Amino acid sequence: MAAASVLFAALFYAATAVLVVGLALRIRLYAGTPAPLKIPTTPAPVTRGGVAWRLVREVALFESLFKASLWTWLFGWVFHAALALVLLRHLRYFVDPVPAFLAFVQPFGILAGFAMAGGLAGLWARRFLVDRVRYISTPSDHLMLALLLAIAGTGLAMKYLAGTDVVAVKSFFLGLLALDPQPLPSDALLYAHLALVAALMLVFPFSKLLHAPGLFFSPSRNQADDPRERRHLAPWAARLESDRKP
Amino acid sequence: MADVTAPPLRPFPVAPPVVPDAMAASKPYVANEKMQEALGFPGSLVDDWHDRAISKMGELLGNYRSLRVYLDACVHCGACSDKCHYFLGTGDPKNMPVARQDLMRGVYRRHFTVAGRLFPKLVGATELTKDLLDDWYKYYNQCSECRRCSVFCPYGIDTAEVTMAAKEILDTVGYGQKYSNEIIGKVHRIGNNLGLPGPALEDTLLGLEEDTKEETGADVKFPLDQKGAEVLLVTPSADFFAEPHVESLIGYAKVFHQAGISWTLSSHASEAGNFGLFIGNYEQMRTIALRIREAALELGVKRIVVGECGHAWRVAYSFWNTLAGIGAGADDPFARLLQSQLDSRYRQPTHICELTWDLIERGALVLDAGANDHRIVTFHDSCNVARASRMGDTPGGQFEIPRAIVRAVSNRYVEMRPGTTREATFCCGGGGGLLTDELLDLRVKGALPRMESLREVADGQGVNFMATICAICKAQFTKVLPYYGFDMSMVGGVHQLVSTAIRLGAKS
Ligand code: HEM
Ligand code: SF4
Ligand code: SF4
């Protein structure tokens, strides 16, 4: 097998390990850090079920962002929805045979590739055009958008400009899953696409992409508004009480 | 003091252009040694402030999930960037909520994240220099902890949490803010924020009894330290003599009188305000809240009712159960002791508006709304009530109940523009421990968005009274309204309107 195939197999094992372990550690850190006070942003749901629904709306619709800024919402929501579709479409490289619903989303996945690039371009434009957003942008904010755009760009290029041997790509990834690495077609665009994806996986647990797990742990969004009905006490706060008479 | 100037009202409420360092000169007085040490903080900036600040930050990151998640999760989307009244009023980019957070996030990245240690430039990680510490002092004292930004952030990132953490760190390195820390010292020493001692309070209340008797002919009482009373009323100390606050206190007393509810104030807990919240210090907040618990146990009351005060209601509604066991549903002995004494048929604690509205709904008050016909009223939602608490049983009760009362006691009511009320309300500009003279320029500028929507209804519908239920809002507006060409007596409490409308003697 070519050196490049070995290299990419190793890279994807490493990237997956970093992504999974890194995220798991981060989530454990969030879950293990107490939230000593009730601070939901009100009006807030008064039940756990209501809270779950609030989070569903935030994840699926970006409800708060919609209230904040229509342009950001439009570009951001289109980008994320498209990203979700694109990821779904890519599942076909990891399962064999391909189930019917995955076959069904394929054409939408293609459209989503363009939508994703469009959304990203809009988000990036804000970083240059809106003086407030320009002020807060760091190099990593630009790089992250560049990385995602490059992933989308190389992907679309393989689809429309220089096709690649998708059957071989699939056998490469199925091989990775079976711990039996298979050769990867030698194709510069494909190499670029995959290297960029691996880079994204590697930076995920160390970057602002932690907003995805972060949302679920945000006390202002995930707490129920019931402080008068239930006593809420963090372990470290309870310790303040033990050395005190009632 | 720097020049105090009110910015011109904007014809269209769009975000102003960024003006770097526009407010770089604004900062409050630093607390002196005595004030600092009274709270257990170092008297002045310690030599090893850098290391102590970083270690305190590590401790807070371990104790507060909010801080940890918020410092990680921000994507710099800018959705919050035009939501802060201080940015809208000043244009200083460090008053954009995200930029305010970044003052701390940079240091967090540098000291607590892999990316920041390896690639500081790339991710905006910064060392905590003396200049940056000074920026913290300036700009964390330009945040009123109003939570408006958290409403609009896609992850609910609440800059107030970051500000509180920053103030906590500044206090631990001996760089505390005079106004807040001096007041907390007074609460501990004397029992209330204004430093009004027990005997003076008694005199004041007797005076109010006489005045009310003269006005209404009824024997409305203002009881103090009355054991066995049904209700303990905890209200901001400004209600005892500041204008227009005292008008609301008279309103509460009339409501209790007509409803036949026995009530009392407490000289031990003669303050609802809790500035421990503003400086982000859990222990201070807890110690201050425990005074209410002690007073309730001592007086044997069945209900605890809180007067018109925004941040006090946040602490009472959201935190008292946690801090002092005032509430319901606890199974530990500390909280049970008080909770078994309180009457579980009532919400504990109860907001004075909840109490009054329940009475109105039951027909227990005689009201003549026509008595307020000289007023065209609008309602200013106070941020801590709107975005950090509730009234009644359903979400949003904190908006509906005060409005329902206003409508019941007056005939001419007007809403201000949507997007400036309810959960999107604009801070008065003086909350969060910024209600001090040396910050007046900031306070005037921060009031801009509210003044614009008030101007609209004042010119358009003739509004001449803005009702609110917060002692800080009342004090702040009284001071800043004239800068925008309004009469300072335009602001007042909801129970001031109740006081005008209630007909005593008509029913007993
Ligand atoms: C639970 C899942 C997720 C939710 C709820 C979520 C939500 C959001 C929201 C509301 C924004 C702000 C608006 C915007 O700029 O688009 C945002 C920004 C962003 N998200 Fe996500 N996201 C999720 C997962 C992801 C994933 C998996 C990725 C990438 C692989 C990602 C990449 C980004 C990037 C790069 C930005 C910043 C865009 C910019 O620079 O303007 N997100 N996300
Ligand atoms: S909490 Fe209020 S004052 Fe502070 S940054 Fe957010 S909007 Fe501004
Ligand atoms: S809205 Fe939230 S995520 Fe966006 S810049 Fe502001 S704090 Fe960061």
Q: Considering B161, B176, B191, which residue would you say is the last residue of a domain? A: B176
State the nearest Cα–Cα gap between B376 and chain A, in angstroms: 27
Residue range of the domain that includes B497: 366-501
**B153 within a domain of the structure (yes/no):** yes
Is there an atom of ligand 3 within 6 Å of B98 CB?
yes
DSSP A55-88: HHHHHHH-HHHHHH-HHHHHHHHHHHHHHHHHHH
Contact B155 A214 (CB under 8 A): yes
CATH number at residue B48: 1.10.1060
Gap between the Cα atoms of A199 and A192, Å rounded: 10
**By C-alpha distance, which of B296, B178, B187, B302 is closest to B237?**
B187
Q: What is the pLDDT of residues A1-36, one digit of tens each?
A: 789 999 999 999 999 999 999 999 999 999 999 999
pLDDT score at B15: 94
Q: What is the pLDDT of residue B508?
A: 43
Same domain, residue pair B214 and B335: yes
The angle that helices B471-480 and B245-259 make with each other, rounded to 10 degrees, is: 140
**B439, B492: one domain:** yes
Amino acid identity of residue A66, one-letter, is F
B211 lies in the same domain as B124: no
Q: Is B122 exposed, middle or buried (0-12, 13-18, 19+ CB in 10 A)?
A: middle
Cβ distance of B161 and A35 shorter than 8 Å: no
Which ligand is located closest to the Cα atom of residue A73? 1
Predicted confidence band of residue B288 (pLDDT cuts 50, 70, 90): very high
A66-75 per-position pLDDT tens digit: 999 999 999 9
Give the model's pLDDT for residue A244.
54
Q: Inspect the interface and report whether the beta carbons of A133 and B78 lie closer than 8 Å.
A: yes
Tell me the pLDDT tens digit for each residue of B466-476. 999 999 999 99
Q: How close A6 comes to chain B (CA, Å)?
A: 28
Of 1.20.272.10, 3.40.50.1110, 1.20.950.20, 3.30.9.40, the CATH number of A3-32+63-209 is 1.20.950.20
Q: Is residue B3 included in any domain, yes or no?
A: no
In a domain, B33, yes or no: no
Classify residue B145: in a domain, yes or no. yes
Write the DSSP string, B119-154: -HHHHT-----HHHHHHHHHHGGG-----HHHHHST
Confidence of residue B2 (pLDDT cuts 50, 70, 90): low
CA-CA distance, B296 to B431, in Å (whole number)?
28
Q: Which of B358, B387, B418 is the last residue of a domain?
A: B358
Please tell me the predicted confidence (pLDDT) of residue B191. Answer: 83
Ligand 3 centroid–CA B76 distance in Å is 5
Separation CA A145–CA A148 (nearest Å): 5
Same domain for B155 and B259: no
User: Do B77 and B200 fall within a single domain?
Assistant: no
**Count of the separate structural domains present in chain B:** 3
Q: What is the pLDDT of residues A75-126, one digit of tens each?
A: 999 999 999 999 999 999 999 899 999 999 888 888 899 999 999 999 999 9
Q: Does B327 touch chain A (CB under 8 A)?
A: yes
Residues above pLDDT 70, as percent of chain A? 98
Q: Is B69 on the interface with A (CB under 8 A)?
A: yes
* pLDDT attached to residue A180: 94
Whole-complex ipTM: 0.96
Are B144 and B267 members of one domain?
A: no
B388 and B354 share one domain:
no
Domain boundaries, chain A: 3-32+63-209
Tell whether the model's pLDDT for residue B459 goes beyond 50.
yes
pLDDT in the model for residue B488: 95
Whether the predicted pLDDT of B224 surpasses 80:
yes
Residue B18 lies in a domain: no
* Cβ burial, residue A104 (10 Å; 0-12/13-18/19+): exposed
- The string of pLDDT tens digits covering residues A134-166 is 999 999 999 999 999 999 999 999 988 888 999
The answer to whether residue B20 sits within a structural domain is no
**Element spanning B465, H or E:** strand B465-468
The first and second tokens of residue A194, run together, are 């995959």
Q: In what order do the strands lie in the sheet with B377-379?
A: B377-379, B465-468, B491-493
As a whole number of angstroms, the distance between CA B136 and CA B49 comes to 13
Please report whether residue B31 resides in a domain.
no
Q: Is the C-beta atom of B143 inside 6 A of ligand 2?
A: yes
B160 and B225 assigned to the same domain: no
Task: Say what the pLDDT of residue A246 is.
Answer: 47
Among chain A residues, CA nearest to B290: A246
Q: Give this prediction's pTM.
A: 0.96
Is residue B375 located within the same domain as residue B341? no
Assign B134 a pLDDT band (cuts: 50, 70, 90). very high
For residue B303, the cross-strand partners are: B231
Q: Is the pLDDT of residue B284 over 60?
A: yes
Q: Which residues contact B208 (CB under 8 A, 6 or more apart)?
A: B222, B246, B249, B250, B253
- pLDDT, residue B506, reads 52
What's the pLDDT at A162? 85
In this structure, are B376 and B345 located in the same domain?
A: no
Nearest-CA residue of chain A relative to B103? A136
Residue B194: its pLDDT value, please? 81
Q: Answer whether the bond into residue B20 is a cis peptide, omega within 30°.
A: no
Mean model confidence pLDDT for chain B: 96
A interface test, pick of B14, B63, B65 with most A CB neighbours within 10 Å = B65
Whether residue B271 sits in one domain with residue B411 = no
B147 touches chain A (CB under 8 A): yes
Q: Which of B149, B176, B203 is the last residue of a domain?
A: B176
Tell whether B198 and B132 lie within a shared domain.
Answer: no
